């Protein structure tokens, strides 16, 4: 089973940190339990970082020698105002994401998610690429980056111009019906929600600090109850889900195969802004190590592959990439 990234994350409605959340009882199965373990995983510091100047020069050298596959996580998008999950101020400190099994089997949970996401989508839809997104697109044009595999679902790499790109966990820009399979553009879906909930957005006071990396927000039960959901444009079902991979849900095979193909065409692997806390991202790194490709990590906190990295740069991603661009004279 694949599980979801710790990055800017698939669209997952918040559940209380203290408990297992609505619907998290008997009958949700092994995938749900595995997802809960993945969500709760704590990544500790296990390696001594490379001195910053040495890390900068070493990573620049890897990029010059041939294209690197870059695996990105939440730390790449924090500069765009999108919070992370597992950082010091990460959203996991105040809520637990619901699993696919909860979303699929608990109608109250999915309704609660959509009320919160309807409000939070304002911020996510306004987010713009930052210097890291643009730097990776430019390094791709220069032939130093062979491709990007992102665990984030914010769509910012594509907007910045990355071409050889795999959004491992999907993109929040579309909504899928779990009954008939119809996929609708998120902006179209949002317009239908606005029509069904006149005055709702204008009445809710949005605190940007409470927006989660998956685009939803903390809302009181009063506002959740007032929210009116719309149905699938084709079949009318209200069992709709952001077209992204949830905890407890498999990554589509074609995305995994494309990521493997990109890895084969690259000479090294660079992790940017991810703890690799879940297997879907970590597996790519392990495959690269088995192929003898050097690994570099740029991240503000500890990660699961740190002990295997040739260069471990303990830094926030944006300032590190600004220094890398200077080092590369790009």
Tokens of 13: 């409605």
Spatial neighbors of 291 by CB under 8 A, at least 6 apart, are: 263, 264
Question: Do residues 121 and 186 make contact, with C-beta atoms less than 8 angstroms apart?
Answer: yes
Question: Do residues 232 and 179 make contact, with C-beta atoms less than 8 angstroms apart?
Answer: yes
Exactly one of 95, 111, 169, 182 is catalytic; which is it? 169
- CA separation for the pair 146, 68 (Å, rounded): 5
Q: At what angle do helices 279-290 and 253-264 cross, to 10 degrees?
A: 30
Beta partners for residue 14, in sequence order: 97
Taking CA atoms, 207 is separated from 123, 146, 213, 298, in Å, by 10, 39, 14, 30
Residue 169 among the catalytic residues: yes
> In residues, how long is the chain?
330
Beta partners for residue 149, in sequence order: 71, 166
- CA separation for the pair 71, 167 (Å, rounded): 10
Question: Do residues 262 and 147 make contact, with C-beta atoms less than 8 angstroms apart?
Answer: yes
Q: Beta strand 268-272 with 68-72: parallel, antiparallel or unpaired?
A: parallel
Residues with a known catalytic role:
169
């Amino acid at each position: 089973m694949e599980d979801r990234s710790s990055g800017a994350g698939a669209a997952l409605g918040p559940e209380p940190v203290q408990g297992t959340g609505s619907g998290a009882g008997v009958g949700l199965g092994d995938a749900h339990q595995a997802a809960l373990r993945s969500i709760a995983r704590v990544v500790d510091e296990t390696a001594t970082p490379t001195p910053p100047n040495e890390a900068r020069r070493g990573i620049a050298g890897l990029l010059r020698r041939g294209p690197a596959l870059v695996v990105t996580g939440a730390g790449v998008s924090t500069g765009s105002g999108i919070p992370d999950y597992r950082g010091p101020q990460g959203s996991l400190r105040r809520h637990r994401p619901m699993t696919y099994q909860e979303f699929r089997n608990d109608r109250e949970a999915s309704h609660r998610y959509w009320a919160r996401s309807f409000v939070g989508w304002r911020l996510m839809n306004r987010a713009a690429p930052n210097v890291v997104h643009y730097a990776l697109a430019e390094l791709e044009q220069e032939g130093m980056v062979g491709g990007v595999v992102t665990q984030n679902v914010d769509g910012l790499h594509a907007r910045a111009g990355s071409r050889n790109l795999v959004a491992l966990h999907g993109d929040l820009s579309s909504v899928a019906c779990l009954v008939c399979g119809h996929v609708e553009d998120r902006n179209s879906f949002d317009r239908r929600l606005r029509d069904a909930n006149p005055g709702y957005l204008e009445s809710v006071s949005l605190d940007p600090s409470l927006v989660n990396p998956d685009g939803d927000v903390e809302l009181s039960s009063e506002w959740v109850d007032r929210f009116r959901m719309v149905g699938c444009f084709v079949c009318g079902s209200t069992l709709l889900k952001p077209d992204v991979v949830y905890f407890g849900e498999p990554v589509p095979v074609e995305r995994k195969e494309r990521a493997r193909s990109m890895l084969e065409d690259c000479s090294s692997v660079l992790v940017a802004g991810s703890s690799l806390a879940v297997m879907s991202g970590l597996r790519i790194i392990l495959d690269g190590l088995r192929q003898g490709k050097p690994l570099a990590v740029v991240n503000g906190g500890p990660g699961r592959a740190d002990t295997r990295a040739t260069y471990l740069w303990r830094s926030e991603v944006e300032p590190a990439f600004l220094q890398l661009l200077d080092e590369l004279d790009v």
